[in-house]
Amino acid sequence: HTSTLAGWGFLASVSYAQSLLGAPETRLTALDNGLRIASEETGQATCTVGLWISVGSRYEREKNNGAGFFLEHMAFKGTKKHPQSALEQQVESMGAHLSAYTSREHTAYYIKALSKDLPKAVELLSEVVQSCSLNEADIEQQRGVVLRELEEVESNLQEVCLDLLHATAYQGTPLGHSVLGPSSSARNLTRHDLVDYINSHYKAPRMVLAAAGGVNHEELVGLATDHLSGLSFEYEGDAVPVLSPCRFTGSEIRMRDDALPLAHIAIAVEGASAASPDIIPLMVANAIIGSYDLTYGGGKHLSSRLARLSVEENLCHSFQAFHSAYSDTGLLGIHFVTDRNNIDDMMHWSQNAWMNLCTTVTESDVARGKNALKAALVGQLNGTTPVCDDIGRHILNYGRRIPLAEWDARIDAVTPKIVRDICSKYIYDKCPAVAAVGPIEQLSDYNRVRSAMYWLRF
């Protein structure tokens, strides 16, 4: 017992700075076909390995919106080598967990398994991505599953609100599409549509084989060479899909339903892109505004001014400052949930919090925001799967994994003046996008919300 406790004491004494310096490096290798292999080795008994692909709903057209999400459902329905039951049996016999997700710009397929099973995991992933069977009977069966999921999402009002926010902010552009697509797509997508989607986008230079945990980089490169070096890097007729710019439009969308108990409202301005240097000051700014939920302890002693006001004035049930960053644009916003009688007040104080960032943010505000952001960045990398996801998305976004020590230094460099200047650039006198769902009769008209982006400064 003594030695165990001494061990714990030693671990507890490792400082934040030491832990950053002690983080394992991310190694990066590229195959001849352009596929990148990136890994972080920690010597654990488990690992997560996956393929991250630079494709999502932003690459879809009106006609095939939802194709990526539909494919995600088809991925585990069998490959040309393993029918569904055999694929499931292979994963189950390893005690592994196979999963996938689709976002607006990325798609990922990944397996969490014991480190000794890394070769089998890479083999199965390569099959899923290169030779998904896509048989007609499975496609028909999955239509019903996708339609049920679409129905379920309609009851998640936060999701609905944020999808509407994208639909109005990026109206007329592919970023306005939802990831799931409309129900008409789920009913009408054909096998040809899905095959065409894979042939157009699943190209080696747009893929990263990422791994974290008990993984050896040289072994991973060898497995990638064996299973993924045949991935195509050429486009038919050189028709390389180019992302069209998605313009931001200050506008609003309202879905009034007085039968709902609470209103979900989101307000956003155009934010920074994922690779913009402005993103760090904006993340610090969001950390200053913070988040709040009725279940939080602390009450009137919460550090976020907006959270304290929410408690004292009973303004809302919850709020969250967010920044959705894409390759060339972003949404910087606040989402809140409140009852019908507090909408106007909560909107006023949310915009007021923005204006404070542009004008009166203090040294202590920024110090608190920086600490909260550092804690969040470290805290979200708890486990091999979030680390693997971080690696995959970083390589796609930046061409490299940005180490925590570098994030830390960039956060340290933020000053109150930088926060005020950057927030003024993005927020002050800008046309916001507003999305509102529920009993929203009391929500001020758009022109009043828009004018507050100017007058609240004075």
Q: Which CATH architecture fits 251-455?
A: 2-Layer Sandwich (3.30)
Q: How far apart are CA 308 and CA 329, in angstroms?
A: 31
Query: How much is the pLDDT for 4?
Result: 40
Query: How much is the pLDDT for 11?
Result: 47
Sign for the CA dihedral angle at 20, 22, 23, 29 comes to positive
Q: Which amino acid is at 23?
A: A
Query: How much is the pLDDT for 238?
Result: 61
Q: Is 43 exposed, middle or buried (0-12, 13-18, 19+ CB in 10 A)?
A: exposed
Low-confidence ranges of the chain (pLDDT < 50): 1-11
Element of type H or E holding 433: strand 433-438
In angstroms, what CA-CA distances link 328 with 57, 58, 272, 407?
A: 15, 12, 8, 20
Q: Are 129 and 202 in contact (CB under 8 A)?
A: yes
Written as one string, the DSSP assignment of 143-164 is HHHHHHHHHHHHT-HHHHHHHH
Answer whether 0.85 is exceeded by the pTM.
yes
Q: Are 168 and 253 in contact (CB under 8 A)?
A: yes
Sign for the CA dihedral angle at 296, 298, 299, 303 comes to negative
Query: How much is the pLDDT for 239?
Result: 67
At residue 80, the 3 state secondary structure works out as coil
72 is catalytic: yes
Phi, psi of 207 (to 5 degrees): -120, 150
The C-alpha R_g of the chain, in whole angstroms, comes to 24
Side-chain half-sphere CA neighbours of 18 within 13 A: 6
Question: Taking the domain 23-238, which CATH number applies?
Answer: 3.30.830.10
Query: How much is the pLDDT for 1?
Result: 43
Q: How far apart are CA 13 and CA 18, in angstroms?
A: 10
Query: How much is the pLDDT for 16?
Result: 75
For 230-251, the pLDDT digits (tens) are 988 887 766 667 788 899 999 9
For 252-265, the pLDDT digits (tens) are 999 999 999 999 99
Q: Which of 320, 306, 317 is nearest to 352 (CA)?
A: 306
**Of the residues 41, 60, 72, 105, which is catalytic?**
72
Q: Which amino acid is at 354?
A: W
Query: How much is the pLDDT for 456?
Result: 66
Query: How much is the pLDDT for 235?
Result: 76
**If you search the block for the tokens 């393993």, which residue do you land on?**
82
In the chain, list all ranges with CATH 3.30.830.10.
23-238, 251-455
